[in-house]
Amino acid sequence: MYKKIAGLLLGCFVAVSGYSQTVSGVVTDVEENAPIPGVNIYWENKNKGTTSEADGTYVMSIDVDLPENLIFSFVGFQSDTVFIESPGEHNVVLSSSVELNQVEVSERVGAFNMSSMARRNTEEINRNILRKAACCNLSESFETSASVDVVLNDAVSGTRKIQMLGLEGVYVQNLFEGIPFTRGLSNVLGFDQIPGSWLNTIQLTKGVGSVQNGYESLTGQINLEFIPPDVEERIYVDLYANSQQRYEGNVIWAKPLSARWSTALFLNGATQNMRVDNNDDGFLDMPLRDGFNVMNRWKYFGDYVRSQIVFRYLEEERTGGQTNFNFSEDFGSSNAYGIGIDVNQLEVLAKTGFLSKERDDRSLGLTASLNRTEIQSYFGNTLYSGEQISARFNSLFNTKFSEYSDHSAVLGFHYLYDEYRESFADSSFGRIENVPGVFAEYTYERPRFTAIGALRWDAHNLFGNQISPRVHLKYNLKPLTTLRGTIGRGFRTPNAFADQLGYLASSRQVSVLNAPNAESSWNTGVSLLHKFEFLNREIVFTTDYYFTYFENQLVVDRDTDPRRLLFYNLDGESYAHSFQTEIQAELTQKLGLKVAYKFQDVQVDYLNGRLQKPLVPRNRVLMNLGYSWDDDKWIADFTANYYGKSRLPKTSANPEPFQRDSKSKEFFILHAQLTRILGKFEVYVGAENIGNFIQPDAIVDPENPFGTNFDASLIYGPVNGRVIYAGVRMDISRNK
Amino acid sequence: MKTATLFIAFTALVLNASAIGKTEEVTLKSSIVCEMCKETIEKGLAYTSGIKVVRVDVEKNEIFIKYKSSKITLEEIKKEINKMGYVAGDSKPTREEYEGLHACCKKEGVLDD
């Protein structure tokens, strides 16, 4: 039965400090299949333990030398011992009858992914859910999540952006296991640069994030946990091909070197060489791509010192535009319109945690990161290039008020250095940001109630003092019914070009009307999570509402004049309402269903008055059906997405043939995938956009890309038709 | 006069309401030895109907409880604490209940024998 443990990966726990390794899971009752709260959980040879939460979940920190026995005991149940060889997720089933003296450790089926216990409104996307959408990078991993919309940036560059709470992904902070990354110019490729198969889990938190990770989470946080190096020796291979000759390959090798040291190497290569033009507009639907991505992580796990260092390098080249574009012949001329985006990025992330020998509630954490990102791009004959060098240091000290106190605090110092050098067309500009900051976070935690109050003060060299207060509250009405609320402020520096690079794919004349100020907003929200049983089936119901109000925003204006792209500081109001409700149910043991509805209302004061933000659908529905049979050897998934109408930027001032409707069409996107598991191998086939929906007339005046009316930035739906794909995954671990 | 009548009626209502949901307080000596004991008891009683507040003081070895006597009696609360393996004032856990505890949570001399 321990075979299954070996297949499991490091669990899904955002530790407050983020330094400790843990064993986590759910304890359930074998007969009633219900979670058991209050189970005593402890290491056999250590006088330290924990108890399971009201929803049966537990998190146990590993401060012993593995392997070690972990004991689960509860009155009226058979005590059980689980032999733990490595950190990770271990779900335990306790039996109340004396005859059945065995522990079953099972992998959780991925249908339920909302925690009753997390302090913030967090949705977790684990590997089981990631599998539902095969390909290939992080932006595509959100296909089965209703909280995040993945949208194309423009009709030619193929870069995808996410939207959350009705706002762009740049307002969401991305974390690499707790450390901010892919900031600033890296937003050009966004999540296209993170290979999905490198990931273990994704935690999606709505609303303003913790002050511990910096000031930039205005509307949410996405924390990525990569495959850990220390669980077991493991070689993982993932190969993918689709009907448009896109090929991706991933190799991951994780190796524990000793009881304390471990390392993992991640490789990814991607290429697309076929010139596809399904909508016959003379432009490639997806750009030609070549790229590779390398990452190496090292981990040291001592008794009182724990450390990690991660090196990451990526390079990608994209060439798009007209199908007959040839860089060497046509670049710089007006023979054919081409788009090229070359990005390379080097990043080093490090973190070290020191645990107190006297007090196990005390720790000191240090994180540091260095990043250099370089972009070279052209849109027709317009050039944009940028370089960013940034360094970041964060330290945080974590302690309880006294040894047995319900009050705890985190105090920290943060420093960010950011240097930008950019040039667009014939002008160059740059800036240097120096941002020292301090923060304090106070947590009061009771079994049913948690309150977190936090304050940050950042002294920004360009934008002055920035104060960011944040409050998070959680109250459990019942063990499985959780009410959460949050309010807080965040800010960031906008990058007019890098944040909206795809908008340059047009003949619009670009003007930055005034020097961009810092973008800052207040975000507040409430959410309700309710898990219950109906006809013996577990049902998870969630509903939430968030409101974001900008104090300042760099407004991107494509409405005032269809021939111009304007950037200016907000003068007036800009806000976003987002309401979402979702139900997940196991209809039968084998059939899982998820249905979600989302409403978004985003309005901005432009130069000519208030308008709905363009290209944000007001209504969206998602449905996912998952069916598995034959002992989960076969898994079938079907996802349907409905996108309601959204407002298109005004084109009424264009000559008549180049005018577009004021609203987009509503449309459906359907995906299906079938996976067959054969021991260490998995084979999958699937289809994206089965209905073959293609946005009609996506590009304005595609015949004259060098004329004044050309615009490829008015994109609300796919420009790429149906894609059939297939792939294979291999997971070879020594311990099996 | 009218106001006074209203005031009296209102006061009566409030008094009446508080009599129905009368909150009592009790502090029980227990057999708590560690942080884990505190967690077990506080989490274990968090959703028990009628119990409003539970605070475990590890150093003093005391459990402080606020509860609505209309919903739960003191005896019932003691039984709940015993079930988790701990002493509650004059009420002791059974051997089976006590043995469910982790070695570090077992205070010596809890069971008479």
* Residue range A654-664, pLDDT digits in tens: 999 899 999 99
- pLDDT tens readout for residues B6-49: 666 666 555 555 555 689 999 999 998 888 888 889 988 988 88
Identify whether the C-beta of residue A366 lies closer than 8 Å to the C-beta of residue A351: yes
Q: Which domains does chain A have, with CATH numbers?
A: 2-106 (2.60.40.1120), 122-733 (2.40.170.20)
Q: Which of A383, A344, A350, A382 is nearest to A369 (CA)?
A: A350
- Of A57-61, A555-559, A717-721, B102-106, give the range with the top mean pLDDT: A555-559
Residue tagged 């054919």 (tokens):
A336
pLDDT exceeds cutoff 50 at A99? no
CA A71 to chain centre: 35
Name which of A73-87, A209-223, A553-567, B46-60 the model is least confident about. A73-87
Helices (H) and strands (E) in chain A, counts: 5, 43
ipTM: 0.72
The interface residues of chain B toward chain A in range 37-56, judged by CB-CB distance below 8 A, are 38-40, 42-44, 46-47, 54
Report whether pLDDT(A394) > 90. yes
CB contacts of B43 in chain A (<8 Å) are: 37-38, 51, 53-54, 447
CB contact under 8 A, A51 and B36: yes
Q: Which two tokens stand for residue A630?
A: 């034959």
pLDDT of residue A18: 38
Statement: residue A32 has pLDDT above 80: no
> What pLDDT sits at residue A578?
97
Query: At residue A109, does pLDDT exceed 80?
Result: no
Note whether A50 contacts B: Cβ–Cβ < 8 A.
yes
Three-state SS at A89? strand
Q: Over 70: is that where the pLDDT of A351 sits?
A: yes
E strand or H helix at B7:
helix B2-20
Of A574, A562, A576, the C-alpha closest to A662 is A562
A105 pLDDT higher than 50 = no
Mean pLDDT of A105-133: 64
For residue B85, the chain A residue with the least C-alpha distance is A75
Tell me the residue type at A402: S
Question: Above pLDDT 90, what percent of chain A?
Answer: 59
pLDDT (0 to 100) of residue A376: 95
Kindly report the backbone phi and psi dihedral angles of residue A628, in degrees, each rounded to the nearest multiple of 5, phi listed first: -130, 145
**pLDDT band at residue B77 using 50, 70 and 90 as cut-offs:** very high
**Mean pLDDT lowest for which of A25-29, A245-249, A395-399, A420-424?**
A25-29
Query: Does the CB of B75 have a partner CB in chain A at under 8 Å?
Result: no
pLDDT over 70 percentage in chain A: 92
- Selected for mutation to probe chain B from A36, A47, A75 (highest B CB count within 10 Å) is A75
Whether pLDDT at A312 is above 60? yes
Which helix (H) or strand (E) covers residue B8, if one does? helix B2-20
When scoring A27, A36, A40, A73 by the number of chain B Cβ atoms within 10 A, the one with the most, hence best to mutate, is A40
Is 60 exceeded by the pLDDT of residue A14?
A: no
Q: Please report the DSSP string for A282-296 in residue order.
A: SB-SS-EEEEEEEEE
Is B85 within 8 Å of A75 when comparing Cβ atoms? yes
Lowest model confidence (mean pLDDT) among A19-23, A138-142, A463-467, A586-590: A19-23
Q: What is the Cα–Cα distance from A36 to A16, expressed in whole angstroms?
A: 24
Any bridge partners for residue A521, and if so which?
A490, A550
- List of E strands, B43-95: 51-57, 62-68
Q: Please tell me the distance from the alpha carbon of residue A567 to that of residue A560, in angstroms, as a whole number.
A: 11
Distance in angstroms (rounded) separating the CA atoms of residues A281 and A702 = 6
pLDDT at A20: 47
Q: Do B83 and A48 touch (CB under 8 A)?
A: no
Q: What is the mean pLDDT of residues A12-30?
A: 58
User: Mean per-residue pLDDT for A50-75?
Assistant: 79
Measure B101 CA to nearest chain A CA, in Å: 7
For A618-634, what is each residue's pLDDT tens digit? 999 999 999 988 888 89
User: How many Cα atoms within 13 Å fall on the side-chain side of residue A676?
Assistant: 5
> What are the tens digits of pLDDT across the range A178-192?
999 988 898 887 778
Give residue B15's pLDDT: 53
At residue A659, the 3 state secondary structure works out as coil
Do β-strands B51-57 and B62-68 pair in parallel, antiparallel, or remain unpaired?
antiparallel
| Domains of chain B with CATH codes | 22-105 (3.30.70.100)
